[in-house]
Amino acid sequence: CRLQVVKALRCRHRCGEGQARAICEKVQAKLLKECHDPARTCITELRISHWEEAIRETIGGEAKLRHLTLAEETRGMLTELRKAVRLLLLTNGDRQTQREKIEACACQPYFDAIVVGGEQKEEKPAPSIFHYCCDLLGVQPAECVMVGDSLDTDIQGGLNAGLKATVWLNKTMATPADSSPVPHYVISSVLDLPAVLQKMERNVNAKLGNEHAV
């Protein structure tokens, strides 16, 4: 049956055998994580969406991968930050898709570790994946800062895990909903991160100074 599916994909979408097999593997992974709510969508539509997403991620994704790059300013910032702190890249998503993106933008040298949610038992915002990251770096949650652009996964996850602070990267400076989690800090550019970290350090030093004074 799988051979027939591969053959159909190759004929209809003009993709190679490797791409067709990759599409099948992605669909299989989506089926394993599938959460079907009959009240919201029918199972047929859900399964069709799995195939559409897998095809788009595999075939359409390859063209996009060629344009992925890490800006020079960002590379410089990460290089400088890593002299003082440990850096870990944490991303949700399918293992193969995310690993391909990571490789395409060549960001591995700028991080001490990289964790992909699709390779773990739970993804953001579950506390377990954040604690796993802390263990990888050999630090405590109260020593870690989460920086991300998603309030629901990055910021909520950091709060769930009891991290030292959360920094929301809000590029569009959008106004969050009232029900959204509240980050400790907000930045409009990732290049503003060093200044925020310095501010945190000053706040900690000031707090320690006040405690000693008392």
Structure confidence by residue, pLDDT tens digits, 101-123: 898 889 999 999 999 999 999 99
Distance CA 194, CA 139 (A): 20
pLDDT at 179 over 60: yes
Give the structural domain span for 166. 72-212
State whether 43 and 101 are in the same domain.
no
Length of the chain as a residue count: 214
> Residue 148 corresponds to which amino acid?
G
Same domain, 59 and 76: no
% of the chain at pLDDT higher than 90: 52
112 and 198 within one domain: yes
CA pair distance 41, 128, nearest whole angstrom: 30
- Residue 16 pLDDT grade (very low, low, confident, very high; cuts 50, 70, 90): confident
Are the CB atoms for 186 and 172 separated by under 8 Å?
no
Confidence at residue 214, expressed as pLDDT on a 0 to 100 scale: 53
Residue 22 clears pLDDT 90, i.e. is over it: no
Q: Are 141 and 117 in contact (CB under 8 A)?
A: no
pLDDT at 150: 95
Burial class (CB in 10 A: 0-12, 13-18, 19+), 67: exposed
Q: Among residues 92, 105, 96, 94, which one has the least CA distance to residue 65? A: 105
40 and 83 together in one domain: no
pTM for the model: 0.70
156 plus 194 within the same structural domain: yes
**Same domain flag for 78 and 152:** yes
